[in-house]
Amino acid sequence: MVENIVISGDTLTGKTMVAIALAAKLREKGKSVGYFKPVGTKSYEYSTSTEDIDEDAAIMKDLLGMNQRLTCISPIVRTMSSYDELLRIGHDELMNQIMDCYSEISKGLDYMIVEGTKASWHLLHVDLSTPQIAKDLTASVICLVNFLDITAIDDILLQIELFKQHGIDNVSIVLNMVPPMLRKTVTEQIGPFLSERGINLVGVIYRNRELFSPTVREIQRALDGEMITGADKLDLLIDRFMVGSMAPENALKWFRRAHDKAVITSGDRSDICLTALETDTNLLILTGGMGPDIRTVARARELGVPVMMTAHDTYTTGQIVDGLIGTVTVDNKEKLAIVEKIVGDSLDLRKILK
* Structure-model confidence comparison of residues 81 and 173, the more confident one: 173
Rounded Cα distance, 227 and 234, in Å: 9
| Banded model confidence at residue 205, pLDDT cuts 50, 70, 90 | very high
Residue 330's pLDDT is 61
Q: Mean of the pLDDT values across residues 17-34?
A: 94
- Sign of torsion over alpha carbons 35, 41, 45, 49: positive
334 Rama sector, left if φ>0, alpha if ψ -120 to 50, beta otherwise: alpha
Domain 214-322, architecture per CATH: 3-Layer(aba) Sandwich (3.40)
| The model's pTM | 0.82
Does the structure show a pLDDT above 80 at 338?
yes
The answer to whether 24 and 34 are in contact (CB under 8 A) is no
The answer to whether 154 and 122 are in contact (CB under 8 A) is no
Structural domain boundaries in the chain: 3-211+332-353, 214-322
Does the structure show a pLDDT above 80 at 129?
yes
Q: Which of 118-127, 154-163, 206-215 has the lowest mean pLDDT?
A: 206-215
Q: Which of 30-34, 42-46, 295-299 has the lowest mean pLDDT?
A: 42-46
The answer to whether 298 and 276 are in contact (CB under 8 A) is no
Q: How far out from the chain centre does Cα 15 lie?
A: 6
Torsion angle (degrees, nearest 10) of CA 128, 132, 138, 143: 100
3-211+332-353 has CATH 3.40.50.150 classification: no
Does the structure show a pLDDT above 70 at 326?
no
Rounded Cα distance, 37 and 70, in Å: 10
